[in-house]
Each structure stands twice: as C-alpha cells, then as structure tokens.
Amino acid sequence: MVTSITSFGRSGLYDWMIQRVTALVLVAYTVFMVCYLAFGDVPTYEQWKGLFEGTAMRIFTLLALLSMAAHAWIGLWSVSTDYIKPTGARFVFQSVCGLLTFIYVVWGIQILWGI
C-alpha cells in the first residue's frame, strides 16, 4: 500500500474522521464562546483573564487550537492535491501552509500558557 507523507492521517477515511471530530470540537468551542459573550455583560480584562486562567478553559482552548490546526491542514492538503497539479507548486504551497500552521500553534500555546 502506498502512503502519502504529506497526509495527516493514514488514509482518506482516517482524514475524514479527523475532520469530523475536529469540527465538533470547534463547534463546541464556538458555541461556548458565543454564549459567554451573548448572555453576559461585556467582559472586562479581568473577566477575560479570569476565564482563561482556569485549567479547564486552557485545556479546552488548547484542544480547539490543535483542532483548528488539524482541520485546516487536512482541508488545505485536500484542496492542494486536488487543484494544484504541478508538484513543485503543490510542495511550496503545502510547505508554507505547514509552516504557518506550526507558527500559529506555537504562538497560540505561548499566549495561552504564558510560556
């Protein structure tokens, strides 16, 4: 069996499942944040800080951040393999997407955990 080194999962079905699970995490995080903002007062800096100081919220946010990265990578990988036919251009596109995703995750972790 031939495997792609740039695919996130082991197979198309595995990638599809990751897409669905990460989408559910992102929906749950979005619903939580929308409800937090819609049904409360306009949050002050202290309230935001208090919300994100909790370990549960930090873990939930980290899970959403990692889900966003995996979801975006699989989606962009799928689009690039379908629509960018020249191998060199596809490699550059996927490399830039991978680098930006990595930077986004590292930066998000630094912001979230104050490292």
| CATH number of domain containing 32 | 1.20.1300.10
Query: Inter-axis angle of helices 55-83 and 87-113, to 10 degrees?
Result: 170
| pLDDT given for residue 8 in this prediction | 58
Per the annotation, binding residues for a ubiquinone are 83
Q: What is the mean pLDDT of residues 45-52?
A: 92
Domain count, the chain: 1
Binding site as annotated, residues: 71, 83
> What's the confidence (pLDDT) of residue 2?
41
Q: Does a structural domain hold residue 17?
A: yes
Cα–Cα distance measured from residue 15 to residue 59, given in angstroms and rounded to the nearest whole number: 23
Mean pLDDT of 5-21: 79
pLDDT tens digits along 65-109: 999 999 999 999 999 999 999 999 999 999 999 999 999 999 999
Radius of gyration of the chain (CA): 17
Q: For residue 45, is it within any domain?
A: yes
As annotated, the binding site for heme includes 71
